């Protein structure tokens, strides 16, 4: 059963009650109060009502079921790469990307006492972002559902030999001592989040000069399939800022690609590229067009 540790559950109940009264003002996120996703949601929409969910999948479900107007989901980190499973969750969610948000990420080592520590709990992304810090101190990292949830778990355990790596806010919320700040290995550590809603943004309402379109496409299982697909953008002068592959099913014969391109449907260059891409691939699915929160290049 997916449940938050008791120190987090008390805050979650309060936030969920507030969000249920005005669901369209709610912004869902995966993780306990104090997580990076919680802070990103409040940076993006300070007036919104935060709706904590146990997982990213649960946050997407909250939007689909009308319990939140949108969801804030981390998609990639400058230091540790893409967030696991997110490329599978987004296309299958039926939701549309309507905005993006970048946030500088800083973590702290926190506990009920000064150590030494038998283990440090956190989300796998945070553990990866603090890998050298943990290695130098000989502290094993153990996975938890989210960063702030790990802090709540350590607080509930009361075990002085356990620590958590989480945002400093989590130490305040769960009454933990911060043992060391800025434990991330790179001090320009940044995560890109996307905001998802039931209805896509109409490309014609966006500033054409600063738009981004996200899509997934499946290449044909023929020689030079990816080369031909990418040529659709190159020959039409459309800049691709992101391309990642993942396997569809267990056959290892159907490769999906997740891509971000500058521009949006309605731009003749983008329209021409998408028309050619449809011919060169088995499937093309647009996940949304939105304004760039940070200019690429």
SS3 for 53-83, per residue? ECCHHHHHHHHHCCCCCEEEEEEEECCCEEC
Query: How far from 18 is each of 27, 179, 195, 253, CA to CA, in Å?
Result: 12, 33, 21, 47
Query: Residue 251 has which token pair?
Result: 């056959």
Per the CB < 8 A criterion, the answer to whether 258 and 87 are in contact is: yes
| Residues in contact with 37: Cβ distance below 8 Å, sequence separation at least 6, in sequence order | 29, 30, 31, 59, 72, 73, 74, 146, 193
To the question of domain 6-104+190-197 being in CATH 3.40.190.10, the answer is: yes
> Angle, nearest 10°, between helix axes 86-93 and 56-64?
10
Catalytic residue positions? 191, 193
Show me where the domains of the chain are located. Answer: 6-104+190-197, 108-181, 203-291
- Report how far Cα 249 is from the mean position of its chain's Cα atoms: 23
d(CA 41, CA 48): 8
For 211, phi and psi rounded to 5 degrees?
Answer: -100, 160
Q: What is the pLDDT of residue 1?
A: 36
Fold of the 203-291 domain: Alpha-Beta Plaits (3.30.70)
pLDDT at 250: 73
CB atoms within 10 A of CB 67: 18
Beta bridge partners of 244: 258
What span, in angstroms and rounded, lies between the C-alpha atoms of 196 and 216?
A: 16
pLDDT in tens, the chain (297 residues): 368 999 999 999 999 999 999 999 999 999 999 999 999 999 999 999 999 999 999 999 999 999 999 999 999 999 888 886 787 889 989 999 999 999 999 999 999 999 899 999 999 999 999 999 999 999 999 999 999 999 999 999 999 999 999 999 999 999 999 999 999 999 999 999 999 999 999 999 998 789 999 999 999 989 999 999 999 999 999 999 999 998 877 777 778 999 999 999 999 999 999 999 999 999 999 999 999 999 886
Write down the CATH number for the domain with range 108-181: 3.40.190.10
- Please state whether the predicted TM-score (pTM) of the whole model is above 0.75: yes
Would you say the CATH fold of 108-181 matches that of 6-104+190-197?
Answer: yes
Pair 30, 73: CB distance under 8 Å? yes
Q: CB–CB of 27/6 below 8 Å?
A: no
For residues 189 and 28, what is the distance between their CA atoms, to the nearest angstrom? Answer: 23
């Amino acid at each position: 059963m997916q449940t938050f540790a008791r120190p987090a559950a008390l805050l979650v109940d309060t936030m969920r009650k507030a969000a249920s009264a005005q669901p369209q003002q709610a912004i869902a996120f995966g993780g306990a109060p104090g997580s990076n996703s919680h802070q990103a949601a409040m940076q993006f929409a300070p007036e919104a009502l935060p709706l904590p969910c146990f997982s990213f999948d649960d946050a997407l479900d909250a939007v689909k079921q009308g319990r939140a107007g949108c969801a804030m989901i981390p998609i990639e980190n400058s230091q540790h790469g893409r967030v696991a499973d997110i490329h599978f969750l987004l296309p299958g969610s039926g939701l549309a990307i309507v905005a993006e948000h970048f946030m500088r990420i800083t973590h702290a080592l926190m506990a009920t006492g000064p150590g030494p520590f038998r283990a440090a709990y956190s989300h796998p992304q945070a553990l990866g972002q603090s890998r050298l810090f943990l290695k130098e101190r000989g502290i094993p990292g153990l996975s938890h559902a989210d960063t702030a949830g790990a802090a709540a778990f350590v607080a509930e355990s009361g075990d002085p030999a356990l620590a958590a790596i989480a945002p400093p806010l989590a130490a305040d919320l769960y009454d933990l001592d911060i043992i060391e700040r800025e434990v991330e290995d790179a001090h320009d550590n940044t995560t890109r989040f996307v905001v998802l809603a039931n209805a896509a943004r109409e490309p014609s309402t966006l500033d054409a000069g600063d738009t981004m379109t996200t899509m997934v496409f499946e290449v044909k299982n023929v020689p030079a399939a990816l080369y031909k697909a990418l040529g659709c953008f190159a020959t039409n002068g459309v800049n691709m800022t992101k391309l990642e592959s993942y396997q569809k099913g267990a056959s290892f014969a159907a490769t999906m690609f997740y891509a971000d391109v500058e521009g949006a449907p309605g731009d003749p260059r983008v329209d021409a590229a998408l028309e050619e891409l449809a011919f060169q691939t088995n499937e093309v699915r647009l996940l949304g067009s939105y304004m760039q929160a940070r200019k690429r290049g």
